[in-house]
Amino acid sequence: MAAVYDEQSFFVTQHWTKTAPYDGLGCMYIDYFNHWFLACQLRTFNRIGAPMDYLYRFDLSKDDLKKYKLLFIPNLFYLTEDEVTYLRTILKDSGATLVWYYAPGFVTPKKLDLKQMERLTGFSFNITEEPGPLMINSKIEKAGIEMQFGVNKPQYPRFSVTDKDIDVFGHWTDREEVAFAMKEFDGWNSIYLGAAPLPVEILRWLAEQAGVRIWSSKPDIVYATQDAAMIVATEKSERELKFAEPMVNAEGGNFAKIYRLDMDFGEVRIFTAA
C-alpha cells in the first residue's frame, strides 16, 4: 500500500486563517484539508495492521503501479491536463486500486473543471453548491460494516457520483446521493470518496479487497523493511502476526512466519530476518 500526496494542492485550498477563530471544537492552527485529510487520516492509516509507504505525486511511476496494490490519494486537487494524461497512462491495465478523495483534479491552472475530474477518476459527478457536512453514511453489507464518518463542519462544493453501474459504499448524511463508490475503469479499480478521514475498519476491508496482505489480525501499527519489522499494539489482546518470510523475535527464539502474541496496549515487538 501507499499514500500519495500532492504539494501543489496546498496552494489552491483555503488557509486556516480564512475561518479563524474557529467556534467550538476543531483544530485551530492548520487548514481543513491538512487537518482532516492528512493528519487525522494518517492516524488510521497507521492502524491498518500492515506496512504503508508514502510518496509525492510527482514521484509516482509505472513501476510503482506494479508494486502497490492499493493507493490512497488524499489531496490531489490540482492537476494540469498533461499530468492527468500521465496518470491515466500509467494506471491503464495496472490492476491497482486507487482511492480518490473529495475533488481529484478538479482545480486546473485556468479554471475549476469537473470534466477533468471525471476524466481522471472514470466517474460522472454532480456538484452541490449548498454547504453541508462532509459526512457519509457507509453501509458495506458484504463486509458487515455500517457506520458514519467524516466531518460535521459545513463545506462546499460537494460532489456526488451519478454513475449507475457501480458498487455503492456510502451516501451523504443529508441527502440520498452517492458519496463513496467503486467501479472498474480502464484495467484498474477507481474508488471515489467524498470525505475524510476513513475509519480503520473500512481501511482494513479495502486493503483486503485489493489483495493487500494484512500482517496483524488487530488494527496495530506495523512498520517494516525487507529485513526488519516492528509492531505496536493498539489494544490489550491476543493477535496473530503473519510475515511473508520467516523472521525472528529480536528478544530471541526461532524463525517463523506466523506468531501469536498476547500484547498490552502500547507494547512494542521487533523482528528481524537475520
Query: What pLDDT, on a 0 to 100 scale, did the predictor assign at position 28?
Result: 56
The CATH architecture of the domain made up of 221-272 is: Sandwich (2.60)
Is 3.20.20.70 the CATH number for 2-209?
no
CB proximity list for 185: less than 8 A, separation 6 or greater:
121, 122
As given in the structure block, the three cell numbers for residue 188 are 484498474
Output the tens digit of pLDDT for each of the chain's 274 residues. Answer: 999 999 988 888 876 556 555 555 555 556 788 889 999 999 999 999 999 999 999 999 999 999 999 999 999 999 999 999 999 999 999 999 999 999 999 999 999 999 999 999 999 999 999 999 999 999 999 899 999 999 998 899 999 999 999 999 999 999 999 999 999 999 999 999 999 999 999 999 999 999 999 999 999 999 999 899 999 999 999 999 999 999 999 999 999 999 999 999 999 999 999 8
Domain spans of the chain, in order of start = 2-209, 221-272
Query: What pLDDT, on a 0 to 100 scale, did the predictor assign at position 153?
Result: 85
**Distance in angstroms (rounded) separating the CA atoms of residues 220 and 21:** 36
Query: What pLDDT, on a 0 to 100 scale, did the predictor assign at position 12?
Result: 85
Whether 18 contacts 71, CB under 8 Å: no
Query: What pLDDT, on a 0 to 100 scale, did the predictor assign at position 27?
Result: 54
What pTM does this model have? 0.92
**Interior CA angle at 41 toward 32 and 52, to 5°?**
140
Query: What pLDDT, on a 0 to 100 scale, did the predictor assign at position 31?
Result: 78
Count how many residues are written for the chain: 274
**Distance in angstroms (rounded) separating the CA atoms of residues 210 and 94:** 12
Long-range contacts of range 218-225, CB-CB < 8 Å, 24 or more positions apart? 218/49, 219/47, 219/48, 219/49, 220/47, 220/49, 221/46, 221/47, 222/48, 222/49, 222/50, 222/51, 223/51, 224/51
